[in-house]
Structure 1
């Protein structure tokens, strides 16, 4: 049995399996089918699959890629789960990815990028994409406290993390649209939020798939230094979109980053498939 396989099959998963949960998955499929790898979009904490259904799903399908968006348990239209853990979120991603017709590209946004990073250690993805990744730690949380103390402090005691309009969107997005998006935000599980304080070490990705990191130097959630640090972890530099907010998939110039992701996938060679 290979070392890659040993990292997928873990004693803890067998001894203490994650409780099943009903998961919302939205999709948009190309017509005709072109045999390209499916993309599974994973939203950040407080967001649901709706955040990608707004623009990115249909646009991805229009370029020939099957597109799916998952609401993590406790988010969007998925089953309520106030005590969900980061491990449970990663389990959701792996389970949905394993049900797709072909080896998937995992795309995580915000704290959903941290979930995807954990899922990559359990699922042999075609590639990984980390959009404005929130990997936690005191640097990122310190920046959030400085910019939005009222919305950030409650999360330290298990309360809801509330991001504001200036943190998520650029001034280019009309205020009425931004407020409508804000009204749809929910909350993550307390245990998962606390993991942002102490994120711990990440295991290597199964099969060492290519990983793209992208974000904005004007993001008011993820400091530029944190974006660069995450990209270096995967041996690259971040792809930057100046003038955009944290929620790149909902901001005024939403098409630029998703086109960059799809262009990269067209050029990037596929890794070897690891049997599971």
Structure 2
């Protein structure tokens, strides 16, 4: 754990408007709030479609945020990974109780970085993209036409078949794809060069969730990230990368909420 972060005071992260959506249980609850963080190009909406209301129906206060430059948050074309991490920490700190952090894709790396700055109750890393040249090259090999624009500062364009299972209706896949934005070019380059996050504060329990049929994150990458947190990944065969929007979205969120009940 780093005590002194010279970059934080020498080059402070500028303020940005942040979108936060929420769904709260009807009755008072003792459950810790859960803060959902999207991956690059996503926004709070990816969780608001299904997971927020479902978590609230099970008595869990659920929040979803859009880091700067994503969703309905303020524009930030020059944002970096540190700025996204700052946004997660600031929103988590504003919640009424110590929160559980859940991040998807590259948002899982942002959550992992936030864990070194915020004492989370627990964390869940969904289909985590932790970066590095090896995974970046693998992503390019699987989808060169979609990844090459990102190398030169453009938007990453995953194929619909990489994001969803065949059971997800095509019209839904197209609608979700049309709502995707993009991360900053700087953050995309940092992701490719990233060597891994710092150790969490307080050693919170961390669960890695994914699918062995994910066309973006191979099973060996899920294993690698899970080993980092001394665990094994929880797998959902047949699902695509966007677990929260896939046709079988109930299965992973129920498993996550069950896991949180066992780790109060």
TM over 0.5: yes
Residue number among 169, 172, 197 corresponding to 1:177 in the alignment:
172
- Number of aligned positions between the proteins: 264
What does residue range 1-276 of structure 1 map to in structure 2 within 5 Å?
7=3, 10-269=5-264
Flag as ranges the 4+ runs of structure 1 deviating above 4 A.
none
Kept after mapping to 2: 8 A contact 1:122/1:205: yes
Matched residue of 1:194: which SS?
helix
Measured in 1, the distance between the counterparts of 2:244 and 2:196 equals 28
Q: In the TM superposition, what whole-angstrom CA distance separates every residue of 1:95-126 from its partner, at most 9, and x where no partner exists? A: 00000000000000000000000000000000
- Deviation of 1:26 after TM superposition, in Å, equals 0.4
Q: Which runs of 5+ in 1 are unaligned?
A: 270-276
What are the Cα deviations for residues 134-171 of structure 1, in whole angstroms up to 9, with x where unaligned? 01123322232122111101111111111110110000
* d(CA) in 2 for partners of 1:42, 1:263: 19
Deviations 1:193-228 (A, max 9, x none): 011211124211001100000100000000111110
- The root-mean-square deviation of aligned C-alpha atoms, in Å, is 1.1
Taking structure 1 as the reference length, the TM-score comes to 0.93
Aligned to 1:196, the other structure's residue is in SS state helix
- Shift of the alpha carbon at 1:77? 0.2
The TM-score normalised by the length of structure 2 is 0.98
Q: CA deviation at 1:35?
A: 1.8
- Which digits, 9 at most, give the CA deviation of each residue in 1:213-246, with x for residues without a partner? 0100000000111110000000000000000000
**1:273 aligned residue:** none
Gaps of 5+ in 2: none
